[in-house]
Structure 1
Amino acid sequence: MELLVTGLIIAVTAVLLVYSWGNKVKHSRLPPGPPALPFIGNSLHIDKRAPDRSLIQLSRKYGPVFTVWLGPRPAVVLCGFEAVKEALVNQADDFGARGTVPSIRKVTNGYGIASSNGHRSRQLRTFAISALRDFGNGIKTLEDFIRQEAECLVEVFKKTGESPFDPTFQLTSATANIMCAIVFGNRFDYKDPKLLTLLSMIDENMKVISSPWGQLYDLLPNLLDRLPGPHNRLFENADKIKNFLREMIQVHKDTHTEGKPQDFIDSFLIKMEEEKDNPRSEFSDENLLLSTFNIFLAGTDTTSSTMRWGLLLFLKYPEVQEKIQSEIDRVIGMERTPCIGDREKMPYTNAAIHEIQRYSNIIPLNLPHTVTRDTEFRGFLIPKGMIVIPLLASVLYDPCCWETPESFNVDHFLDERGHLKEKEAFLPFSIGNRMCIGEKVAQMQLFIFLTTLLQNFTIGSLEEPSAIDISPLSSGFSTLHRPYQLYCIPRKSARRPARE
């Protein structure tokens, strides 16, 4: 029996070695990279809690364009601003398709805005960009919704009574309500059971997909589909969220008025009716469901996470908070809620928000791309269908573009006169024809929410600023900050809670 088992192990190993060797011969003009093992590829070279850092470290040895093996699949990594820009802008047609992420593919099956390609992607992205631009052009604009939600957020913060608390739930509720307004046309009370359940599932999924379990699933999906583990919660939660969205879509189908869209779902339903006789139309129930899923989840978590990073950085660097508040007092005062028109008059605040986005590095690996044809790039040949990782972390932390890339430094975005300085390498939303479609919505939320909070409160921590740890907890799919608490002192009071 032992001989049989030993023989099977030797045979399987031999097959895997031959398979791996055959793949390497087939892809012999790929960029260089670290030696890979059969089946597991380069997984031993990559820290599961900080894959972006591992890839940046590998680029120092193998150059800005190199190959890693994600399990049995090779992927080309683009590291640094110049390489990413050259691929996604200068060769946009070659690098413009969305790469397959097994966990996302299982949830979406290629439908929706985020993971579709070709004709489907072009139709859905064009429509979504137009719908987001036109949202709220009636009596109530998107800015009105955000300002109203900012006032609700202030009231919730006031109820903490200067006691320390974790702001995750409040900030996520606020950003979720903006996405609810865009997608569903209404908001939820922060205590609404439906909202609480949704936010709980979103939070759990972001933790799972950014964890070693989530990364392991994307390396070996066929194996992990047959095994128990936390990765299964990702798909259970996704199914529950989709069921909730189906209910909301059905309500819209039953109640929406022709020609008078109130939100994204209404606009999509109208488009479905317009194109019902077009055999090439991608405006179907499945694309409606998954596009709604994409917009709601992406818009909720990334913006909330950026704001949480922002408040953490204000705790670490109270002098930044003080300078923003001085600018708020000078430009806005205390009598009205900040509006987006104030942003141009507030260069320091604007620069600080840009630096929060750069430093927090929310989506460090970017969503993967794939090449649409055999592509020559910097002397290498990348075969059609090859996964490409345009590493956003390497752009936002590129030492060729930033004076102190590893440090939080508002001066990155200020010139010698104190005016906002635009930086070409500022790419938190990526670049090219697959960049995030919600950039303007996110930027508007970040400015109005953060300035409204600092207009009303001075935030503090029971820890000394020097003791606050701003290193990431993990940086898989998303960069997660360490848990923290803050307290809020109304601006009319200077009293500080006693330290524990």
Structure 2
Amino acid sequence: MIELVLPDLSIAPTILTLICLLLFYTWYRRPSRFPPGPRGFPIVGVLPFLEKYSERTMHKWSKKYGPVMSVRMGNEDWVVMGNYEAVYQSFVKAGSAFSGRPYMKLANEITECKGLVMRDFNPTWKTQRKFGHLTFRGFGVGKKSLEDRIYEEVEVMNKEILSKGGKPFDISEILTNAVMNVICNITADQRFEYDDKNFRLLQHILTKWFLEPENTAAFANMIFVPLLCNIPPYRSKYLEVKRDMMQMADVFQELVDQHRISFDKNNIRDFIDAFICEVDNGKDDSFTDRQLVQYLREIFEAGTQTTTGTLNWAILCLIHYPQAQKKLRNEILDVIGNNNRPSISDRKSMPFTSAFIQEVFRFRTRVRTGVPHKTTETVNFANYVIPKGTTIVANLWAVHNDPDVWDEPSKFKPERHLDDKGNFVQSKHVIPFSVGPRHCLGEQLARMKIFIFLVSMVQKFEFLPDPNEPDLPEIDDGVIGNGFFPYPFNFVANEIHASYLTVHIVGYRRLCLIHYPDAQKKIREEIFAAIGNNNRPSISDRKAMPFTSAFIQEVFRFRTRVPLGVQHMTTETVNFANYVIPKGTTILANMWAVHNDPDVWDEPSKFKPERHLDDKGNFVQSNHVIPFSVGPRHCLGEQLARMEIFIFLVSMVQKFEFLPDPNEPDLPEINDGVKGNGFFPYPFNFVASEI
């Protein structure tokens, strides 16, 4: 018996080797004409090599394997589209073949295979997608326009920001509350008070699984690697996230039940009413309460994540790039002023704002590899054969950082989206909402929310770093999970005031008009020639009124309102002009000296508006007139102040002639004034005769 066994044992290593080779060959081989790519290790595939930023690792691989490549994810072969052309050709040109949705255990269990996001590409998906598209697009939803619903919450949000009193705070919760209430207004025609228990529950769950680093990473890992759902410590997270999502579903079911009680088919108020109407019509059995509940959950999740994530990144960019913030605010004040409500229709007149938002979309891609697609049939694509049922991923980060498209893609440059004339250029290479039949349903609403929220905040507040933190908040790293969000950060939001500055500068203008009647006459003649006696002045008239602009600039120079500026301080020891200035040294800028430098100004003690005109009578903007200071800490309200001063002055001179008080033998003093936190004329009376 032993002799019979030994020969078998002697060939065991050979048999074992053959089995291993066969398993390795089975593992390593690809379908015929399948795209090339890395294989990784058996069972786990390339997962150990993906690192934190998987999209960047895939981008490196694509340089070797090409823009259409495969990766072995666990025991499945996925295909990655690595540039715009590959994404466009697959998701748009061959959209029907690439619009399926792979089965993903946790996501499908949460949705109960209902809703819209995780449904496969089939007639039911098309019906539900069409309903959502028409309902969002059609009537706003209900009697209020989308803008009305957004702006209602914007006003509440701005009050919340104002309540911080200029102290450092984290805006994430305020933004989440505001965005969620916009969505609630659209879907359920109501807004929650921020202390409502159901609202707090929704806010808590969304923050927990989409913003908290540990939980959002675990959530994403379980979706993409289903095996983890059964392995500690992920098992407890798996049960926890399912329980939380069921609690969300219960809140939405309660909303649906409330709507059924008050439903009137002749008064469709919102998304829920529109859906109930379809349920009651009974023409399509995919319209059910459970479908509606999952639809609502997806709208809340996706709508909240997209807008809050983008706005958080936008605010962080404003803090990191103060010159962009200044330029953005100047454009806002030029186009809509300080108090007018922003409208999406203003966007066409605000090219830099549009460029800034598009650059945020590009610079910080929120869903870096999109939501996975699946081929619905075997496809011949880019000289490869991709079998039916293959998972497809679009590397949106790679599209947004393609060096063949973008100059210095790692840098934040809103100007890249402007042409030579300063017009905004919509780029087909910026696709944060994906493209094709399965692009984000709420894209239009999201773009509207982001524009109105951002413009409203920048219009009212200046965003500054937290003075208690020595370093700016991190912008090159963030929370990775089902999206890409900045790490929590504090900042200061200072309310913008400009009226105080304007009133006192206009006071000196009136005094100069009285002292120099020839200048007053010349301004009035120019006003009548440019806009007449009855037309309302506009800031756009300024370019046709060179003497008026010269007069205003000369008042800025002649009577410097803040002679020594506001004190600065060195933030580090500096070698400057062959001197060493220690950290913490107080710095003063003698603005009066700049405005009265005899090496720059001929007879600086005299009031001569003509000094700011060239030989042809054109106005010359001088970089030596700096009443609002210069640099990162120049006056935040400069643009608004300039606008107010121009319009106030022109409006008054257009309607009135300013004359000395006949009861006072001497003209009011112009070479002296009240000194304190500024320089103001002494109180004086004058006569204003209507023209």
Task: Compute the TM-score of the two structures, normalised by the length of structure 2.
Answer: 0.67
- 1:267 alignment counterpart: 274
Structure 1 counterpart of 2:376, one-letter code = T
Structure 1: runs of 5+ lacking an equivalent: 1-10
Matched, 1:249 2:256: yes
Instruction: Measure, in 2, the Cα distance between the counterparts of 1:15 and 1:317.
Output: 60
Q: Deviations over 1:107-129 (max 9, x none)?
A: 11321111112011100000000
3-state secondary structure, aligned to 1:127: helix
- 2:476 alignment counterpart: 471
Matched, 1:78 2:75: no
Matched, 1:357 2:361: yes
Counterparts in 2 of 1:58 and 1:272: CA distance versus 1, 3 Å: same
Q: Deviations over 1:98-156 (max 9, x none)?
A: 23333311211321111112011100000000010124365421100111111111100
Matched, 1:348 2:348: no
Matches within 5 A, 1:318-329: 318-329=322-333
TM superposition shift of 1:194: 2.2
Instruction: Measure, in 2, the Cα distance between the counterparts of 1:18 and 1:235.
Output: 40
- 1:427 alignment counterpart: 431
Q: Deviations over 1:385-425 (max 9, x none)?
A: 11000111111112222222111110121111111011111
Counterparts in 2 of 1:455 and 1:497: CA distance versus 1, 3 Å: farther
Q: Deviations over 1:270-305 (max 9, x none)?
A: 01111x2x4x53112221111111111110111111
Whether contact under 8 Å (1:64, 1:80) holds in the other structure is yes
Matches within 5 A, 1:18-417: 21-22=25-26, 24-25=28-29, 27-47=31-51, 49-117=52-120, 118-136=122-140, 139-206=143-210, 207=212, 211-225=216-230, 227-229=232-234, 230-274=237-281, 276=282, 278=283, 281-417=285-421
Structure 2 counterpart of 1:266, one-letter code = D
Percentage of identical aligned residues: 29
Instruction: Measure, in 2, the Cα distance between the counterparts of 1:467 and 1:17.
Output: 54
Whether contact under 8 Å (2:135, 2:141) holds in the other structure is no
TM superposition shift of 1:335: 2.5
Structure 1 counterpart of 2:105, one-letter code = P
Moved over 6 A (4+): 11-17, 493-500
Instruction: Measure, in 2, the Cα distance between the counterparts of 1:309 and 1:262.
Output: 33
Instruction: Measure, in 2, the Cα distance between the counterparts of 1:87 and 1:496.
Output: 59
Whether contact under 8 Å (1:100, 1:368) holds in the other structure is no
Instruction: Measure, in 1, the Cα distance between the counterparts of 2:360 and 2:412.
Output: 8
Instruction: Measure, in 2, the Cα distance between the counterparts of 1:497 and 1:240.
Output: 53
Q: Report which stretch shifted further, 53-62 or 357-366.
A: 53-62
3-state secondary structure, aligned to 2:132: helix
Among 491, 497, 501, the alignment partner of 1:492 is: 497
TM superposition shift of 1:190: 2.4
Instruction: Measure, in 1, the Cα distance between the counterparts of 2:20 and 2:73.
Output: 15
Structure 2 counterpart of 1:62, one-letter code = Y
Instruction: Measure, in 2, the Cα distance between the counterparts of 1:228 and 1:192.
Output: 33
CA RMSD of aligned residues (A): 2.6
Q: Deviations over 1:46-102 (max 9, x none)?
A: 11x311112112212221111112211111111011111111112112112223333
Instruction: Measure, in 2, the Cα distance between the counterparts of 1:341 and 1:12.
Output: 72
Instruction: Measure, in 1, the Cα distance between the counterparts of 2:20 and 2:50.
Output: 21
TM superposition shift of 1:245: 0.9
Structure 2 counterpart of 1:470, one-letter code = I
3-state secondary structure, aligned to 1:98: coil
Instruction: Measure, in 2, the Cα distance between the counterparts of 1:281 and 1:375.
Output: 32
3-state secondary structure, aligned to 1:176: helix
Instruction: Measure, in 2, the Cα distance between the counterparts of 1:223 and 1:335.
Output: 53
Instruction: Measure, in 2, the Cα distance between the counterparts of 1:346 and 1:205.
Output: 36
Instruction: Measure, in 2, the Cα distance between the counterparts of 1:83 and 1:481.
Output: 29
Counterparts in 2 of 1:202 and 1:426: CA distance versus 1, 3 Å: same
Whether contact under 8 Å (1:65, 1:83) holds in the other structure is yes
Counterparts in 2 of 1:163 and 1:442: CA distance versus 1, 3 Å: same
Q: Report which stretch shifted further, 81-90 or 133-142.
A: 133-142
Whether contact under 8 Å (1:307, 1:450) holds in the other structure is yes
Instruction: Measure, in 2, the Cα distance between the counterparts of 1:138 and 1:371.
Output: 37
Structure 2 counterpart of 1:116, one-letter code = R
Counterparts in 2 of 1:147 and 1:222: CA distance versus 1, 3 Å: same
Q: How many matched pairs?
A: 486
Structure 2 counterpart of 1:258, one-letter code = K
Instruction: Measure, in 1, the Cα distance between the counterparts of 2:475 and 2:144.
Output: 38
- 2:462 alignment counterpart: 458
Instruction: Measure, in 1, the Cα distance between the counterparts of 2:414 and 2:222.
Output: 38
3-state secondary structure, aligned to 1:190: coil
Instruction: Measure, in 1, the Cα distance between the counterparts of 2:568 and 2:24.
Output: 61
Q: Report which stretch shifted further, 456-465 or 443-452.
A: 456-465
Instruction: Measure, in 2, the Cα distance between the counterparts of 1:32 and 1:489.
Output: 54
Instruction: Measure, in 2, the Cα distance between the counterparts of 1:446 and 1:169.
Output: 16
Structure 2 counterpart of 1:63, one-letter code = G
Counterparts in 2 of 1:143 and 1:14: CA distance versus 1, 3 Å: farther
Task: Compute the TM-score of the two structures, normalised by the length of structure 1.
Answer: 0.91
Counterparts in 2 of 1:272 and 1:136: CA distance versus 1, 3 Å: same
Which of structures 1 and 2 has the bigger CA Rg? 2
Q: Report which stretch shifted further, 108-117 or 13-22.
A: 13-22
Counterparts in 2 of 1:100 and 1:406: CA distance versus 1, 3 Å: farther
Q: Which has the higher contact order (CA 8 A, sep 6+)?
A: 1
Counterparts in 2 of 1:336 and 1:219: CA distance versus 1, 3 Å: closer
3-state secondary structure, aligned to 1:169: helix
Structure 2 counterpart of 1:240, one-letter code = Q
TM superposition shift of 1:13: 12
Whether contact under 8 Å (2:142, 2:268) holds in the other structure is no
Whether contact under 8 Å (1:20, 1:72) holds in the other structure is no
Whether contact under 8 Å (1:92, 1:433) holds in the other structure is yes
Counterparts in 2 of 1:336 and 1:223: CA distance versus 1, 3 Å: closer
Instruction: Measure, in 2, the Cα distance between the counterparts of 1:268 and 1:260.
Output: 13
3-state secondary structure, aligned to 1:415: coil
